[in-house]
Amino acid sequence: MGTEIFLGIITFFTSTIAGVVGLGGGMILIAILPSFLPVNALIPVHGLTQMSSNFSRAVFGYADVQYQVIPKFLLGSLLGIALISSVIYYISLDYVPLFIGLYILLSLWSKKFNEKIKRFESYFIIGFFQTGLSLVVGATGPLTMTLLYKDFEEKDKVVATAAALMGITHIFKVFVFIFFGFAFFDYIWLLVFMISGAIAGSYAGTKLRDKIDGKKFRNLLKILLSLLAIKVIVTVFI
């Protein structure tokens, strides 16, 4: 039971980080879990925990969720998960993280790129790639944050809406793992502690976010997204 409690505490802190800035907590958690879980349980347990973290963050910030973007994202997610899960064994996805990282960097820092890409950007397309590719690529979350960063000024709208959209991504992943027969019940106590930590962290992060100035938040988010994009690009070549 010591491991379960420890990972529950770790999840609380990673979920708090995500509650403050909108992302990052899941990536920290996925880096820690391999030391405690077998490879076959890593992604399913992480996915269910992150689903709880994101949906609870969206619930705590329900008034700020921009619900108008959800239908397009949901439709894109359905198509993405159906199509990519059916062709995943026939195509090479080795360089997908490279293109994701480059898109994030150019989208954040290049006005010329934004002028050209704007006509193609939509929550339908982001949903398709974020959810579909999440089955095999661990860095799709920043796609949503990058688009929300450009569409909304208020930090609470960005974080709460991103949480709702990323929650959709993770719930589709969980359904896929259930379909393929992963036994979540074998990890029931671990999941109880981690999900409890995730929800408590979402609440704490939501309260702490109120103490951050909006302009400072956007600058912090831009830097964090850029660092994550660089990490993704470097990982492709290492």
How would residue 72 be classed by pLDDT, with cut points 50, 70 and 90? very high
CB proximity list for 227: less than 8 A, separation 6 or greater: none
pLDDT more than 90, % of the chain:
35
Integer Cα distance of 232 and 142 in angstroms: 11
Report pLDDT for 93. Answer: 67
Residue type, 10: I
CB proximity list for 195: less than 8 A, separation 6 or greater: 11, 48, 49, 52
- Predicted confidence (pLDDT) per residue in 9-67, tens digit: 999 999 998 888 887 788 788 878 888 888 788 888 988 999 999 999 999 999 999 99
Q: How is the chain split into domains, by residue range?
A: 2-237
Question: What is the token pair recorded at 52?
Answer: 């709880």
Report pLDDT for 54. Answer: 94
Q: In this model, does residue 6 exceed pLDDT 90?
A: yes
Comparing C-alpha atoms, which of 21, 56, 15 is closest to residue 194? 15
- Predicted confidence (pLDDT) per residue in 84-140, tens digit: 878 777 767 677 778 778 888 888 888 887 777 777 788 999 999 888 888 776 667
| Cβ–Cβ under 8 Å, residues 145 and 158 | yes
CA dist list (Å): 163 to 27, 47, 53, 61, 204 = 14, 14, 8, 9, 15
pLDDT more than 70, % of the chain:
98
Residue type, 102: L
Report pLDDT for 139. Answer: 63
Alpha helices in the chain (DSSP H): 2-21, 25-32, 39-60, 70-87, 96-109, 111-117, 123-133, 141-151, 155-179, 188-209, 214-237
Report pLDDT for 65. Answer: 94
Q: How many other β-carbons are positioned within 10 Å of the β-carbon of residue 141?
A: 25
| Cβ–Cβ under 8 Å, residues 3 and 195 | no
Mean pLDDT, residues 149-160? 88
